[in-house]
């Protein structure tokens, strides 16, 4: 396990303290959980972007609607 030092704004510190009080967890526990959750989301977004880059052109060529097609129509 390693140590990480993070500089927080006053608001972030208040929010973190509130989360600790509400959950009964330490600052380290709350931050580790939030970081793990954020990293899972990051990995998922990265994987989806890679799949989209690889499969998107073939899907459009096959006539399938892609996320980009739907989002462009909404704009």
Q: Which domain holds residue 47?
A: 10-74
Question: What pLDDT, on a 0 to 100 scale, did the predictor assign at position 72?
Answer: 64
Total number of domains constituting the chain: 1
pLDDT along the chain (75 residues), means of 10: 94 98 97 97 92 83 71 56
Question: What pLDDT, on a 0 to 100 scale, did the predictor assign at position 67?
Answer: 65
| Measured CA distances, 16 to 4, 10, 24, 39, 75 (Å) | 16, 10, 12, 18, 37
Residue 21, in any domain of the structure: yes
Residue 62, in any domain of the structure: yes
Q: Which residue has the tokens 């959980």?
A: 33
Single pTM value for the model: 0.67
């Amino acid at each position: 396990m390693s140590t990480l030092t993070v500089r927080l704004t006053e608001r972030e510190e208040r929010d973190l303290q509130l989360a600790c009080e509400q959950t009964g967890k330490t600052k380290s526990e709350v931050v580790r959980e939030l970081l793990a959750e954020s990293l899972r989301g990051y990995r998922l977004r990265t994987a989806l972007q890679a799949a989209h880059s690889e499969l998107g052109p073939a899907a459009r060529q096959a006539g399938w609607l892609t996320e980009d097609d739907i989002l462009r129509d909404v704009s």
